[in-house]
Chain A
């Protein structure tokens, strides 16, 4: 049954979806320019009717020609039917039709215009009847466009006027159309008009309005046609070469836009799209993008082509589109930065510079001119040029699809993961907790406790180290030192060039668990990053330590998971095609098609969505899916915590991405909301962003949203600490809150150097609470996040030693070398995975007293 539904979905994608998309784009663009639904419906009706007018005219001509041919053949056909019987009748009739160049398919030609209308009806019906903007939207006497109009009231009885008006116009149109036709035909039309009035009487008024517009258009067309003399057009000359050119180009565009470009994205994003709670191979969505592209370029352009009397001209347009698409993708490719799993670019899509626009337009004209020239002189060459693209793109796509499948197979182990963690804490022994908040910014903390004193109270015993740096600005570069100490800074890892980065990274991940396991502690590890250098951690590296319980919970805690998966599924089925079209279009048209990440899907814009769309710095719609996927682990820490009175002690490592996923939260409690409006609170609490005369640039949305998710994390931690206190396991617990790196934010002129260094990227949070510590202190001591293992084992293990290298685990205080940090942006472990890190910029911290001042850093070069 599921397969049948999928097949039906694909059929829908081929025949209906391209038209729905046309409607949606037209409506969306118009509505965003003039947010009046009736105006958008009118424009949509007008444009669609004008667009399909030549199609219908040609269909009418074909219908007429087919009817005439049938008339001509009828006497002999009737004679054959009369004098022959059985199989012979069929065979003789078939021969007769063949000889007369008539296919029985032509009986369907008489219905071409109706056949064409049906998908347009279904598309319009589907689109308009589900249009969210019509709900509650009034227009003149119509109170709600999503309901029947009920404009007239006679006593307690209400009358829908619009369907009556629509039928009146329709009858008028029929009157013009049936002029000179038989009474039977006239009656048939009028009776049917009446029947449909009854059937449609209770339809949404927006829908009826759209059809009224169509009927007005039809009326005007019929009036114009009735005054025009019918001209016999010669039948188009059959040109197999042109047909081949069309077919080849339609296929090239279908494959390129529907498969190649989306597959090129999917192969890069496969891992980001895999979910532990819904493991789906994303390559499956290529069926949908391919179906829509095939429907658009092959089926619907094919319908236009088949009915066109200017096939050469149409082919010129098709080939130009093909060549320009390829040029746009390969030559005018723009890196819009990271994407969310909902096909939106985190940085957004801006209009390109005028120079780029001019180049793009010039190339289009040049391509067009070349195509016209070839069409005139060497049409076979035109065919050859485009025909070679089919195998090229098929192979290109095929390789990508194979790679996507391989990746999915590689990561299939996540399906067996235990997603229900148990955090064991000892009430009798000692507990060490390391909480790694990805990208948590060191400098945010003073503002957070300035705004929310309760957090400061809950963080009793903590020391805050504002002058803390990380050794990289990305997790792959910053986390090894955090977990393994100074032997695992990027420079130190590169120095051990005889060993793979994967093995060195694994050593770092295992160092603290191994040490504490050796002490007989209960060890729990939650969501360690890049275990075995896999983007979704391969927890099998912990198998060698039976005392270590490792969990992977990312995506599994999200309470919105089902809705999110369903929303994503619907989005992929539609927008993956848009993604292909986006890159095939010239860069100056991309912002229009991208539409702020909504791809002109108005319903998506106005419904609960799993991407956050911010308007200014206080208002937002939707929620960031990555935040939802990670936040709920932090929100439920107490539920997973189990206090054990018998154990020797516990070590817990939690890695969390909520602080890495910027999003506006609902103030003042910083909770998740799909509709955020903090205007009032923000206006009243501007002063929260000023501490000791320094103002956090809160008007920068990136800074602000990162700040918000940091607050969210600390609120959750504060609650958990309160819970630990209540359970009596706070004082015997050492807690280190640390980040692998900071966020790349502009925090004033001191934070940005001429050579591109942003110091905020090297400023992770470091908060340390030792056993039985109380009060809240701020230390001006210089620190690095590589201090973590030393701090964790300090006092518990005498002269701690790295179990893998045999070297002592040291503190910054014992170091005498330079602090050298990696500035590389090669953050993907699937590519940056040799024995040493891929080349990148390197910086030396020359003045540890002022680590956040760019003047304290020296650029060392790129290697």
Chain B
């Protein structure tokens, strides 16, 4: 029996088959991702019976520096805070500065997200982006999600849709507010609560710098801090950058990104073999970067968050590698404006590319001596670091205010 279908229908039949196949393929992928997540998250306990008043979630131990000043401030005000970390060796687990802080290791990766996705809390504070985009979903039992920054630059520098599903974002510059509002408009999202609070961890860093003794070395000290991957300095320029730096006669500290030992072990091994530790060359692999940053007079780095810590908190210039930065996968891509980071960089230091390596000494000297870079740092601070020194207090105040509103509601 042949199904009787008229010719006009026949042509449309192809359309429907393609549509159905496309739809099924898409849904299958979505389901597959969900299945993978379900399998890897492990067993979920039932939602906590007691509501956590304030929960801070740190995706890695390195964020303790971001949250510590906030926790101390909250502790001072007597707030009971729960701190969830995904690092077993998070320094927060051994901290003793906050009596009211309860720190818990909640497992790694999807196990942590599974717990977070069911959490019963009034306010959740985190610096992890991608809420409701990746595996981390908003819990139906949680009332309010607050994002705090862990970098002193664009909020649009996250991967797409980074902070779209937070209820509030605590920022440090007016330009960041504009970015959020532009993204909200373009994505038909409701307006989030935005508060300019400054940057608590930068304030803390600044205090630490002020308290630290002056660097004890003589002459210029250069910190080379390459990131990892195809666009990193070592991958792009090879070892020529080290050769040229050693030729300057300055003291060199090399602090590769820890990930580079994992992603390019052979390359790193060869470089360390060819350029062994010496009087003029020091390989820094400490987890705390403070010493290196403090001792260095100038930073050479490719595109990473550390450049703003260095230039703004340590108030020192930099040479940044000519990395062809693509905004494709970031929220930047949606903005009509040029990212603030790219706009401000020429005012903070000089750009280094493969051809300039021979003149690197001159460039270092220019950066260290030219007044415009000092002015550039001033300008950058004024734009991206409002309420300097008040970040932790303002952040804690906001969190407590919000908690009071919600708990009293």
Interface set of A (CB-CB < 8 Å, partner B)? 79-80, 82-84, 87-88, 90-92, 94-96, 99-101, 104-105, 107-108, 110-111, 113-115, 117-118, 121-122, 124-125, 166-167, 170, 173-174, 177, 188-189, 192-197, 199-200, 203, 207, 211, 214-215, 218
* A99–B186 CA distance with the chains assembled, in angstroms: 10
Q: Is the CB of B6 within 8 A of A170?
A: yes
* A90–B33 CA distance with the chains assembled, in angstroms: 8
Q: Is the CB of A114 within 8 A of B188?
A: no
Beta-carbon nearest neighbor of A188 in chain B: B11
B211 within 8 A of A: no
Q: Which 5 A-B pairs have the closest CB atoms?
A: A193-B7, A111-B16, A192-B10, A196-B7, A114-B12
Q: Is the CB of B7 within 8 A of A121?
A: no
Beta-carbon nearest neighbor of A99 in chain B: B187
Residues on the B chain within 8 Å of A115, using CB: 16
Residues on the B chain within 8 Å of A114, using CB: 9, 12-13, 15-16
Closest Cβ of chain B to A81, distance in Å, is 11
Pick out which of these stretches binds chain A: B19-27, B80-88, B173-181, B273-281.
Answer: B19-27
Residues on the B chain within 8 Å of A90, using CB: 29-30, 33
B141 within 8 A of A: no
Q: Is the CB of B132 within 8 A of A111?
A: no
B328 within 8 A of A: yes
Q: Is the CB of B6 within 8 A of A211?
A: yes
> Would you mind naming 21 contact pairs between A and B with Cβ atoms under 8 Å apart?
A79-B328, A79-B333, A83-B328, A83-B329, A87-B33, A95-B160, A95-B161, A96-B160, A99-B161, A100-B188, A104-B23, A107-B23, A110-B19, A114-B15, A124-B4, A167-B7, A173-B8, A189-B7, A196-B10, A211-B6, A218-B8
Q: Is the CB of A174 within 8 A of B23?
A: no
B2 within 8 A of A: yes
Q: Is the CB of B23 within 8 A of A200?
A: no
Q: Is the CB of A94 within 8 A of B19?
A: no
Which B155-177 residues sit within 8 Å CB-CB of chain A? 159-161, 164
Beta-carbon nearest neighbor of A94 in chain B: B30
Q: Is the CB of B189 within 8 A of A192?
A: no
| Residue from B3, B19, B20, B26 within 8 A of A122 (CB atoms) | B3
Residues on the B chain within 8 Å of A107, using CB: 19, 22-23, 26
| Residue from B5, B8, B161, B188 within 8 A of A92 (CB atoms) | B161
Q: Is the CB of B23 within 8 A of A194?
A: no
B191 within 8 A of A: no
Beta-carbon nearest neighbor of A122 in chain B: B3
* A840–B105 CA distance with the chains assembled, in angstroms: 85
B36 within 8 A of A: yes
B133 within 8 A of A: yes
B134 within 8 A of A: yes
Q: Is the CB of A117 within 8 A of B188?
A: no
Residues on the A chain within 8 Å of B160, using CB: 80, 92, 95-96
Beta-carbon nearest neighbor of B2 in chain A: A199
Q: Is the CB of A195 within 8 A of B133?
A: no
Q: Is the CB of B8 within 8 A of A108?
A: no
* A111–B15 CA distance with the chains assembled, in angstroms: 7
* A832–B22 CA distance with the chains assembled, in angstroms: 65
Known contacts A108-B23, A110-B15; is A170 also within 8 Å of B33 by CB?
no
Closest Cβ of chain A to B196, distance in Å, is 26
* A108–B23 CA distance with the chains assembled, in angstroms: 8
Q: Knowing that A80-B160, A87-B36, A121-B6 are A-B contacts, what are 12 other residue pairs whose CB atoms are under 8 Å apart, sorted by A's residue number?
A: A83-B328, A84-B329, A87-B33, A92-B133, A95-B132, A107-B23, A108-B23, A115-B16, A118-B9, A122-B3, A177-B8, A189-B7
Residues on the A chain within 8 Å of B329, using CB: 83-84
Residues on the A chain within 8 Å of B189, using CB: 99
Which B114-147 residues sit within 8 Å CB-CB of chain A? 132-134
Beta-carbon nearest neighbor of A80 in chain B: B160
Known contacts A95-B161, A117-B9, A192-B10; is A200 also within 8 Å of B2 by CB?
yes
Residues on the A chain within 8 Å of B29, using CB: 90
Closest Cβ of chain A to B11, distance in Å, is 4
Residues on the A chain within 8 Å of B4, using CB: 121, 124-125, 200, 203, 207, 211
Residues on the B chain within 8 Å of A211, using CB: 4, 6
* A177–B11 CA distance with the chains assembled, in angstroms: 13
* A122–B5 CA distance with the chains assembled, in angstroms: 9
Tell which of B2, B22, B36, B164 has the most Cβ of chain A within 10 Å.
Answer: B2
Residues on the B chain within 8 Å of A173, using CB: 8
Q: Is the CB of A196 within 8 A of B133?
A: no
Closest Cβ of chain B to A55, distance in Å, is 15
Residues on the A chain within 8 Å of B23, using CB: 104-105, 107-108
Tell which of B6, B30, B329 has the most Cβ of chain A within 10 Å.
Answer: B6
Tell which of A84, A87, A173 has the most Cβ of chain B within 10 Å.
Answer: A87
Residues on the B chain within 8 Å of A170, using CB: 6-8
Closest Cβ of chain A to B65, distance in Å, is 27
Beta-carbon nearest neighbor of A193 in chain B: B7
* A177–B29 CA distance with the chains assembled, in angstroms: 37
Q: Is the CB of B12 within 8 A of A111?
A: yes
Q: Is the CB of B33 within 8 A of A174?
A: no
| Residue from A82, A101, A108, A192 within 8 A of B188 (CB atoms) | A101
Q: Is the CB of A111 within 8 A of B188?
A: no
Beta-carbon nearest neighbor of B189 in chain A: A99
Closest Cβ of chain B to A669, distance in Å, is 43
Closest Cβ of chain A to B5, distance in Å, is 6
Closest Cβ of chain B to A635, distance in Å, is 41
Known contacts A88-B134, A90-B30, A92-B160; is A192 also within 8 Å of B3 by CB?
no
* A107–B21 CA distance with the chains assembled, in angstroms: 10
* A220–B333 CA distance with the chains assembled, in angstroms: 50
Beta-carbon nearest neighbor of A173 in chain B: B8
Tell which of B7, B19, B189 has the most Cβ of chain A within 10 Å.
Answer: B7
Q: Is the CB of A121 within 8 A of B3?
A: yes
Q: Is the CB of B10 within 8 A of A195?
A: yes
* A96–B7 CA distance with the chains assembled, in angstroms: 37
* A61–B362 CA distance with the chains assembled, in angstroms: 68
Closest Cβ of chain B to A205, distance in Å, is 13
Closest Cβ of chain B to A511, distance in Å, is 62
Residues on the A chain within 8 Å of B14, using CB: 188
* A167–B8 CA distance with the chains assembled, in angstroms: 10
Residues on the B chain within 8 Å of A118, using CB: 5, 9
Q: Is the CB of B3 within 8 A of A214?
A: no
Q: Is the CB of A174 within 8 A of B8?
A: yes
* A195–B8 CA distance with the chains assembled, in angstroms: 11
Residues on the A chain within 8 Å of B328, using CB: 79, 82-83
Q: Is the CB of B333 within 8 A of A111?
A: no
Closest Cβ of chain A to B334, distance in Å, is 8
Closest Cβ of chain B to A554, distance in Å, is 40
Beta-carbon nearest neighbor of A113 in chain B: B12
* A203–B3 CA distance with the chains assembled, in angstroms: 10
Beta-carbon nearest neighbor of A111 in chain B: B16
Residues on the A chain within 8 Å of B5, using CB: 118, 121, 196
Closest Cβ of chain A to B62, distance in Å, is 22
Beta-carbon nearest neighbor of A109 in chain B: B19
* A83–B189 CA distance with the chains assembled, in angstroms: 23
Q: Is the CB of A189 within 8 A of B8?
A: yes
Beta-carbon nearest neighbor of A200 in chain B: B4
